[in-house]
Amino acid sequence: MLGIDTNVLIRFLVRDDETQFEKARKLIKREVAAGRRVLVNQLVLMESEWVLRSRYAIPKNQIIAAISGLLDAIDIQFEDEPSIEEALFLWKDTSADFADCLIGAKNRRLGCRATVSFDVKASKLPGFMAA
């Protein structure tokens, strides 16, 4: 298995630099052809969402579709896919940040009864409490 960094995932998704896109695509293709998977850990995923939203101004629904498409790909593996799926489900109907949705989902899977936050939007999510 080979882990990829945020900049590789962003180039692959956005394709704003054709040379880097081709390198990312070939890298993923080479790993898959060799019977190996490519890992996107949760830190890379959270950072990628932030970059897509803040740097590229990609709308939430398109980011959700992109992440969902990657989750469906058999050649890309995510750290704790159930937490990511739960976070995407929550995020689509809230004004809270994706990162907060993912933090709450991950904490629930780790056995936390709640996640405490000073963030007003996050504290309204299921499983959160205001500090």
Reported as a single tens digit per residue, the pLDDT across 66-118 is 999 999 988 899 999 999 999 999 999 999 999 999 999 999 999 999 999 99
Amino acid at 25: R
59 has a pLDDT exceeding 90: yes
pLDDT at 74: 85
Q: What is the pLDDT of residue 42?
A: 95
What does the pLDDT read at residue 75? 85
Which pLDDT score, from 0 to 100, does residue 17 have? 95
Spell out a b/e string for 75-109, using b for 16 or more CB atoms within 10 Å of the CB, else e: ebbbebeebbebbbebbeebebbbbbbbbbbbbbe
CB 79 within 8 A of CB 85: no
Q: What is the pLDDT of residues 25-55, one digit of tens each?
A: 999 999 999 999 999 999 999 999 999 999 9
Six token digits for residue 121: 């939007």
